Amino acid sequence: MEKILVTGSTGQLGSELKVLSENYAQYEWVFADRTDVSLGNLDLLKGQLERIQADVILNCGAYTAVDKAETETELADVVNHLAVEVLATYAKEHGVKLIHISTDYVFDGTSSTALKEVTNTNPINVYGATKRAGELAAIAVNSDIVIIRTSWVYSRFGNNFVKTMQRLLKERDTLGVVNDQIGSPTYAADLGQAMIDIINAQEWIPGIYNYSNEGEISWYEFVLAIQEITGDSCEVSGIPSSLYPTPAARPAFSLLDKSKIKDVYGVGVPEYRESLKKCLMFKV
């Protein structure tokens, strides 16, 4: 029985994979939090991987506090870059399949067309820079891995944009939401299923792939979609990002082209409204 290690098991994606794993009893699943697999401590990490001896690693762990990364640069680099290199090296040495999750933040947001895997990267914040460094380091030591870039991840688990907006739509009479950052959200359960589909595929085809739900929207339009489902009466208006400054710059355009992952692995990519409805059905 193949053993699948999921890092970052208490995060949004790891939590959704734990639910999905119940449908795949042919595998032995190991769900590791930051104490079981310490991406922030490279000395511990190597020994932990040796003890677990997985056949497949799904690296869902990351330093994702985008604004805090601007000041916690060293920790962000260890988790998003150096630890990924350790995982890729271990996978190479032990013949282990590795799927690593990356981000749309490796791009600078200046494109006006959907971003392909070969589009030039140019991160504009520390988080994006450390994630890109992790991609490059991993590929340099192990070309036989799968990297999936995703965007605007949300889930029924953890803290995320959808949950925050659900709360604010109920608490406030008016709400201003950024309308000049364009992309597409990703329901973590859909991304988790895509990862499992890749594991189950007849052929392992390494490389970088994009995955998010279908649709091209702004954060403002995303909130309108949430409101349409919840029926809250809050008055929502679009505002420019210049009125909502953050420590870390955000790419203005990060819509991902998903044609490669669909063509190579036959992965399903649901429309964002359908996935949003599914997520909002759950009460956690």
Of 124, 45, 51, nearest in space to 79 by CA: 45
**In sequence order, what are the beta bridge partners of 103?**
150
Q: d(Cα 51, Cα 94) in Å, to the nearest integer?
A: 13
Strand, helix or coil for residue 6: strand
Structure token pair of residue 192:
């988790």
Please, which residues have CB within 8 angstroms of residue 245's CB and are 6 or more apart in sequence?
Answer: none
Q: d(Cα 227, Cα 224) in Å, to the nearest integer?
A: 5
- Provide the residue count of the chain: 284
Residue of 90, 127, 209, 265 with catalytic role: 127
* Class of residue 239 by CB neighbours under 10 A (exposed 0-12, middle 13-18, buried 19+): middle
The number of angstroms, rounded, from the C-alpha of 225 to the middle of its chain's C-alpha atoms is: 21
Question: Where are the extended beta strands (E) located within the chain?
Answer: 3-7, 28-32, 56-59, 97-103, 146-150, 153-154, 174-178, 182-183, 186-187, 207-210, 217-218, 235-239
In the annotation, is 127 catalytic?
Answer: yes
* Class of residue 245 by CB neighbours under 10 A (exposed 0-12, middle 13-18, buried 19+): exposed
Catalytic residues: 127
